Chain A
């Protein structure tokens, strides 16, 4: 415990705030996790009640699997997520390379535009894209969803990859070029493998953002195409049900596996690279 380093004079007084802090931290963690736990527990309830425990059952998971519209929404979210991630990762990596390797006029503007895209309220982005698609007579659907998702993911990928690039040792690249490698070869054989953990972290972030996005998708999806968050929203609007609890549990557990698993793989790669 670092707090004791302050000197003997304070040691006696310090114990009390430390204990208060510990209890407070415990309560905050309880606040963060109790609602999630409640959702998970009642997804296994034997009756339709989501608040009073009546017994164990897995019937709501069965109902979930049989609900074709949920499965379709999941498939759409997966398609959109993978497509948007692929496009945004390539564009974002290019942008990060340009911003960290080149000095050019308008760089400050480019920088602020990237950050502006991350802080602009989602609702403003959503309605402006809706207005744009309607004005450009592009029919709302999967294409407009992918376009919108790529637009908000690019900045996040750029920021993550750029952080990785700034911590990279440039001398390896220079060595490759001195040995006669052309810029493309240098990029593919030297730079890319070195920044790959950053690129993958950016891709993982982009996929989660796309898969979870509700607000922007809500405006650009049109009537026919429902991603998983849109489906969940309409289910909640229709009324509380243990099927939503079951769906929440599945989504939360898979996100956790994806993040923790992805994080572990990334950490290992990062260890190898440096």
Chain B
């Protein structure tokens, strides 16, 4: 960056002003607004009085709501873990055993990733629904049950829909990380007498950590904020924070409490990511 004259400043200002204006006005200001609203007081008819009322945040600790928040994090964590459990072997398979079909195999993971989340959830509404539904007939055919089960509107259905929807988000960064893997390291470890199992846990897995971190973040954040999947596949026992926020804004019209929930969700997620990244090492994420 040699010349920093007037043209330089004008150029930079010209390039940056549209994004500053748009994201400032339509991303940052709205976030600050819900932060302000979260300390406000909702009127009976949906209006809001600004001020400093911590009541909305205290309400979060009401056992009724606390249960929903805990459940949300349990579901999101379980989903992240399951995606990693299913996604890692597949990413490993594609990278190291895919051979000349590698690109086709990864494309096959990307195609469902590009189709709408809503339609993927609908597919499970169809499959799990009804006593004579596809899933129930399959379970009976495999002799796993002798009578139709209630499959839809259960916590299991929500988890199923989530793993199905978010699996590609885990596989793609894992593949990107494993792709960069230097074969010679593995050969060196094995030449030095490490078993296959040892080589994996001591060499391959630690080197793929950037992918594990990126994939976990990409799965965890949207699943903690999810409201479509629990709405379509879950029942009363699977209400998540996302559903609660939606209810506060569109049905209960308690915008102050809804804002407090949204702020809390954003802060908890950012906190969780920072904790996770610091735990595993920020330098690892730099490489992603």
Q: Is the CB of B16 within 8 A of A110?
A: yes
Distance in Å: Cβ of B226 to nearest Cβ of chain A: 8
Supposing A35-B123, A129-B26 touch, asked if A6 and B196 sit within 8 A by C-beta, the answer is yes
With contacts A91-B19, A212-B117 known, is A36 near B228, CB below 8 A? no
Chain B proximity mask over A1-34: 1 for CB below 8 Å, otherwise 0? 1110111001001100110011011001101110
Contact residues in B for A103 (Cβ distance below 8 Å): 1
A-B pair count, CB < 8 Å, reads 233
A50 within 8 A of B: yes
Given A91-B18, A98-B15, A240-B126, decide whether A119 and B37 contact each other with a Cβ distance below 8 A. no
Pick the contact of A39: B96, B126, B259 (CB < 8 A): B126
Q: Min CB distance, B173 to chain A, in Å?
A: 13
B119 interface contact, C-beta 8 A: yes
The 13 listed contacts between A and B (C-beta, < 8 Å) are: A32-B112, A32-B168, A33-B112, A94-B19, A95-B18, A102-B8, A121-B266, A212-B117, A214-B228, A219-B249, A232-B116, A236-B125, A244-B122
CB distance from A265 to the nearest CB of B (A): 16
Whether B224 is near chain A, meaning CB under 8 Å from some CB there, is yes
Distance between Cα atoms of A28 and B259 in the complex (Å): 39
Contacts of A95 in B (CB 8 A): 15-16, 18-19
A contact residues around B116 at 8 Å (CB) = 212, 214, 229, 232, 251-252, 255
Are A10 and B190 in contact, CB atoms less than 8 angstroms apart?
Answer: yes
Q: Is there an interface contact between A14 and B126, defined as CB atoms closer than 8 Å?
A: no
- Give Cα A164–Cα B205 distance, bound, in whole angstroms: 29
Taking a contact as CB atoms closer than 8 A, the residue among A18, A36, A123 that contacts B115 in the complex is A36
Among A60-68, A144-152, A189-197, the stretch that binds chain B is A144-152
Give Cα A212–Cα B167 distance, bound, in whole angstroms: 18
Verify B33–A236 contact, CB threshold 8 A.
no
For chain B, which range describes its interface: under 10, 10 to 19, 20 to 34, or 35 or more residues? 35 or more
What are the residues of chain B within 8 A of A1 when measuring CB–CB? 97, 99
A24 to B171, CA, bound (A): 14
Contact among A158, A240, A244, A256 for B111, CB-based, below 8 A? A256
Beta-carbon contact of A122 and B33 below 8 Å: no
Residue from B37, B115, B134 in contact with A51 in the complex, judged by beta carbons closer than 8 Å = B134
User: Which of A10, A151, A158 contacts B26, CB < 8 Å?
Assistant: A151
Assess the A147–B26 pair: CB atoms within 8 A: yes
Q: In the complex, what residue of chain A is closest to B263 when comparing beta carbons?
A: A124
B134 A38 Cβ-Cβ under 8 A: yes
Inter-chain contact B259/A131, CB cutoff 8 Å? yes
Chain A interface: which of B54-62, B63-71, B84-92, B139-147?
Answer: B84-92
Q: From B95, which residue of chain A is reached at the shortest CB distance?
A: A2
B22 in contact with A151 (CB, 8 Å): yes
Could you mark each residue 138-171 of chain A with 1 if its beta carbon is under 8 Å from any beta carbon of chain B, else 0? 0000000001101100110010000000000000
Are B27 and A117 touching (Cβ within 8 A)? yes
Least CB distance from B69 to A in Å reads: 14
Bound-complex Cα distance A111 to B273 (A): 17
Q: Give the residues from 125 to 143 in chain A that come closer than 8 angstroms, CB to CB, to chain B.
A: 125, 127-132, 135
Task: Point out which of B92, B225, B259 has the most chain A C-beta atoms below 10 A from its C-beta.
Answer: B225
Tally of contact residues, A, Cβ under 8 A: 82
Give the chain A neighbours of B90 by CB distance below 8 A.
24-25, 28
- Are B12 and A104 neighbours in the complex by a CB distance under 8 Å? yes
Bound complex: CA A39 to CA B199 (Å): 42
Chain B residues positioned under 8 Å from A51 (CB to CB): 126-127, 129-130, 132-134, 137
Question: Which among A14, A154, A208 is the interface contact of B23 at CB below 8 angstroms?
Answer: A154
Closest residue on chain B to residue A103 by CB atoms: B1
B interface residue numbers (CB < 8 A to A): 1, 7-8, 11-12, 14-16, 18-19, 22-23, 26-31, 33-34, 37, 86, 89-90, 92-94, 96-97, 99, 108-112, 114-120, 122-127, 129-130, 132-134, 137, 164, 167-168, 183, 186-187, 190-191, 195-196, 199, 217, 221-222, 224-225, 227-228, 232, 242, 245-246, 249, 255, 258-259, 262, 265-266, 269, 273
Bound CA–CA A33/B114 (angstroms): 13
Write the nearest CB–CB distance from A53 to chain B, whole angstroms: 10
A123 in contact with B34 (CB, 8 Å): no
Q: How far is the CA of A51 from the CA of B114 in the complex (A)?
A: 25
Q: Is A261 an interface residue (CB 8 A)?
A: no
B221 contacts which chain A residues (CB < 8 A)? 119, 121
Partner of A31, one of B34, B129, B133, B164: B164
Is B196 a contact of A10 with CB atoms below 8 Å?
A: yes
Which of A91, A132, A233 lies in contact with B29, CB distance below 8 A?
A132
State the CA gap A134–B154 with chains docked (Å): 36
Which of chain A's residues has its CB closest to B191's CB? A7
Q: Which 5 residue pairs across A and B have the least CB separation, nearest first? A: A121-B225, A128-B30, A35-B123, A132-B30, A98-B15
Closest to A218 in B: B246
CA distance A130 to B168 in the complex (A): 30
> Are A35 and B124 CB-contacts (below 8 A) given A123-B262, A135-B33?
yes
Binary contact track A236-273/B, C-beta < 8 Å → 1, others 0 = 10001000110010011001100100000000000000
Additional pairs, 5, CB under 8 Å, beyond known A102-B1, A236-B125: A6-B196, A38-B126, A39-B126, A120-B31, A252-B115
The answer to whether B225 and A42 have CB atoms under 8 Å apart is: no
